[in-house]
Amino acid sequence: MPQVPEISMALLPFINNYTHLQCKMRFLLLFSRQGKLRLQKWFTPIPEREKKKITRDMTTMVLARKPRSCNFLHWKDLKIVYKRYASLYFCCGLDAEENELLALEMLHRYVELLDKYFGNVCELDIIFNFEKAYFILDEFLLGGEVQETSKLVVARSVEASDMLQEKQRLMEIILLFPLFFSCYHGGIHEQACILTLGGMDLHTPEGIWTITDLEVLLLYRTMEL
Amino acid sequence: FPKGRSSSLMIRVIRGARTQGEERGVIQRECAAIRAQFRQADNGTRSHNLAKLLYVHMLGYPAHFGQMECVRLIASPRYNEKRVGYLGAMMLLDEKQDASLLITNSIKNDLSHSSQYVQSLALCTLGCMGSAEMCRDLAPEIDRLLRASNSYIKKKAALCAVHIVRKVPELGELFTPASRSLLSEKNHGVLHGAVVLITELCERNPETLEQFRKAVPELVQIMKGLVMSGYSPEHNVAGISDPFLQVRILRLLRILGRNNETASDAVNDLLAQVATNTDSSKTAGSAVLYETVLTVMDIKSESGLRVLAVNILGRFLLNNDRNIRYISMTSLQKIVQTDHNAVQRHRGTIVDCLKDQDASVKRRALELSLALVSAVNIRSLMKELLLFLSSCPPELRAHTTSGIFNAAERYAPSQRWHIDTILHVLTTAGGDVRDETVPNLIQLITTATELHCYTVHKLYRALIADISVQSLVQVACWCIGEYGDLLLRGECEETEPVQVAEDDVLDALETVLQSHMSSPATRGFALTATMKLSTRITHNVDRIRSIVSIYGSCIDVELQQRAVEYNALFKKYDHMRAAVLERMPVIDKSSPGHTNGESAGGSIKEMEPTKRTQEVFSYLDMKYRLDAPLDHVTRPGKTLGPNYRLFMTFVSHSHPPQSVQLQMKAPSGDVIPAHGLGQVTQTVLLNNPNKVSLKMRVRVCYTSQDFVCQDTVQIDSFPSPAW
């Protein structure tokens, strides 16, 4: 009798469910009530033309919804979850297997993060500081998945990155404009700006200062920033 | 200092543009300035310019000339330039662009940068747009970071690994060892990333899945810790401790428990605990409960747990939050086949949702209600469905009517109920029913022989009330034509009889004939019905004669043809009129098919069995039986009534064999001289490619001295060399 090979039972779910091995969240869009795009994050590679079409479809569909409708839609083979916050619509496209209620929570979390960062965030904040909106998003999601579930940690990470950016900028300014300054030991010196950055050597007319602490001391008056 | 406008200023200027044209102009100028700046040496303005370009890109304008600038900025030692450079890469470069490969080296270097924020940029970008090639290149780096770094980097490395595995599934093996040890981390971010990574690995590789089944107890412990822990301000959302992590763990447990008794057993208690202890008053809790329900239904749970899960969904149906009602119904839809009885218990609430304001909820409620129809609840549920139909949104009407018809056909408790239901639908939404509804209803009516009187009464009443719904009017006309005598009798057992005179009935049909609301098909029905009444009424046959003769010159060719034929029936074939117009037999839905040919140069009308019914009703509305010759199939413009007809039928086949084709050529003549002094030949071509054995009956009908005669001969087998 010829041996008939057995199909492993474990393989069956894979044979049937192979389709949802794509990214779970496909895109996240923010647009205004007039349909103007304010932020777009795509988690799968699609051509520019296709992105524009999807964006158009989303804005048309979502803006047509009546005020107290449910926040879930079906579009092609995706679930669309959207929520309106003031004048902005937050809209994401999910795989058919995803948990829509959790997606709503995810959108809400992003709004809270923006709100914490900008202080009572409004659409204008996102228009004029769109890079910051992206930086915040990139600390919250990665590859379409939630990367950090603590609001506090995300906020701190964004703050720290901003600080790093600020320090670098000020460093450049200092290096571009040699100035008199003195070392800080408990008092604020009005004449100059002193930055202490971990692990850096600062060359000044007074000599080389080795900086060990991680603190920014202010003093913009003399810097004209 | 920074040359060119700052990005805020540029944005302000763009927004100040009053027209699309003005905006385009501003953007063109700004882009030209940006391009010029890009060409210059490093002057500290590059990040500002790229940021401006990214804004322009978001408005929908082309920005491909910024791609190389992204590459340059990413390679810069300055953090702010890297930050904007990586952002630009994620927005302007995807794996399909050639430029994306150029950043691989920078990413590699940045993955080992001394600053974790630079590492983070590289990880984020790789996890967002890394191509398969980049992923293969950098996977070992990611694995290293998974094992030895701080939690900030580990959590990002885990999700980056997820992306890599999606792009290059074979690399899953590389990450499996490290991901296992990540489960012992306390940091929620890392734990979350680990669970997502393990889920991805298990979904792709059955062996990995088998391996991770051993981790079920550990996962259960983590989950228990989350559910039972006290208030943790950092992760709390509306009383739930880290709903994101809870949902992901539940999903992983679902995958591990699927089709596996041991794993399913191990999580039964946990699922019961989560199901009973989670507060679902806010979305966060509901999200966790929802995931729990999905998990229970998908693994091999105890029946008690399954009932608990369905009851949770039932509770969701009563929730004030529309979203929760909606997802409850989508879930119930998925399990209505497997757990039919459990879902039936919530039928009342589901039916109530038909009245919800929200269109999505209504749609879901309709689907679910139709799935719940059974022989037991058909009467009450149909009442609700008909009520729904009267006020349902237009986009759902067609679906509702076909759902109702299917349900009625499967579970009708009586023929009268069935007919009543279909009539109700036609009255309410007759414009949204499919074309087959009319012949299907007619077929149903013929089979309900005891109800003919009742049916014609109902339809007559409907007709005189309203003639705008074509499907209803067509059926009504057909019924009146067929059973008009029962209407005129003035007595009926099942319903209040009408007292009508023949003129009233003819008036009703004539109104249909003359109304501009009637479609051509409907008018055809009305004319044929009028004609049929000529054998069912006694006094007003002349009126019918005059109607028929008037329509003999109707502009509508179809009506004209009918009228002309009916006229002929009155004049030349009056002796046959009664036979031709007599009561139709009960039509069997799957009646044997025949292929009948026409002679006299006509082309074959090859009719399939089911199409036949349609054909009969719409074309001639006359009897078309095997045994009765049909003398009046004419072509418009030709002379009436050829002198003979040739019928060929396939015997002992319930359907004509599909492969066999019949083609009749024109006969050599119209008249056979008497006394054997001549003959008429007609060639029939039979194409039988599959060499099916055939038996055929040939019937020749002819008129001889004004008598219609027929001869039949049976061919039992064709000579074998014939095929």
What digits encode the pLDDT tens for the residues B121-139?
999 999 999 999 999 999 9
CA distance readout (Å), B301 to B168, B258, B295, B665: 34, 10, 9, 70
* B290 in reach of chain A (CB within 8 A): yes
What is the per-residue pLDDT for B292?
Answer: 96
**Is the ipTM here above 0.85?**
no
Q: Chain A partners of B84 at a C-beta cutoff of 8 Å?
A: 131
pLDDT band at A196 (very low <50, low <70, confident <90, very high): very low
Nearest to A146 among B244, B255, B294 (CB): B244
- Inform me whether the C-beta atom of residue B209 falls under 8 Å from chain A C-beta atoms: yes
The minimal CB distance from B60 to the residues A52, A128, A149 is found for A52
* SS3 call for B378: helix
Using CA atoms in the order A123, A127, A128, A130, what is the torsion angle rounded to 10 degrees? 110
User: What is the per-residue pLDDT across B509-535, written as a single tens digit (0 to 9) for each?
Assistant: 999 999 999 999 999 999 999 999 999
Residue ranges of A 177-216 with Cβ closer than 8 A to chain B: none
CA pair distance B37, B25, nearest whole angstrom: 19
Under the banding of pLDDT at 50, 70 and 90, the label for residue A142 is very high
The residues near B363 (Cβ < 8 Å, ≥ 6 apart) are: B396
Contacts of A43 in chain B (CB under 8 A): 128
| B49-68: burial string, b at 16+ Cβ within 10 Å, e else | bbbbbbbbbbeeeebeebbe
Query: Structure tokens of B559?
Result: 């009506």
pLDDT at res. B383: 94
pLDDT band at B229 (very low <50, low <70, confident <90, very high): confident
B548 to each of B246, B282, B617, B640, B712, how far by Cα in Å?
78, 72, 18, 17, 35
What gap in Å lies between CA B79 and CA B62, rounded to an integer? 26
- Give the span between the Cα atoms of A128 and A122, in whole angstroms: 11
Average pLDDT over residues B641-667: 51
Closest residue of B to A125, CA-based? B8
> Which one is predicted more confidently, B714 or B215?
B215
B120 touches chain A (CB under 8 A): yes
Considering only CB atoms, which chain B residues are within 8 Å of A135? 83, 87
pLDDT score at A181: 42
Q: What is the pLDDT of residues B565-577, one digit of tens each?
A: 999 888 888 888 8
Closest chain B residue by Cα to residue A151 = B234
Q: What is the pLDDT of residues B276-307, one digit of tens each?
A: 999 888 999 999 999 999 999 999 898 899 99
Beta carbons of A131 and B87 less than 8 Å apart: yes
- Look at residue B127 and give its three-state secondary structure: helix
Does B457 have pLDDT greater than 50? yes
What one-character-per-residue DSSP string does B257-301 give? Answer: HTT-HHHHHHHHHHHHHHHHH---SSHHHHHHHHHHHHHHHHTT-
Q: Does the beta-carbon distance from B360 to A69 stay under 8 Å?
A: yes
- As a whole-number percent, the residues of chain B with pLDDT over 90 amount to 55
- Partner residue opposite A160 with nearest CB, options B60, B117, B283: B117
CB contact A125 to B (< 8 Å): no
What is the separation, in whole angstroms, between the first and last Cα of chain A?
A: 87
Rounded to a whole number of angstroms, the distance from the CA of B155 to the nearest CA of chain A is 7
Chain A positions touching B259 (Cβ under 8 A) are 9-10, 12-13
Sheet strands (E) in A2-144 = 25-32, 37-42, 72-75, 78-85, 88-94, 141-142
Structure-token match 């980049």, residue found: B134
**In this structure, what token pair is assigned to residue B649?**
């039928």
Give the best residue of B166, B197, B253, B254 to mutate against chain A (max A CB count within 10 A): B166
Does B510 contact A at CB distance below 8 Å? no
Contact A8 B358 (CB under 8 A): no
CB spacing of B327 vs A39 below 8 angstroms: no
Which residues in chain A have their CB less than 8 angstroms from residue B245's CB? 149
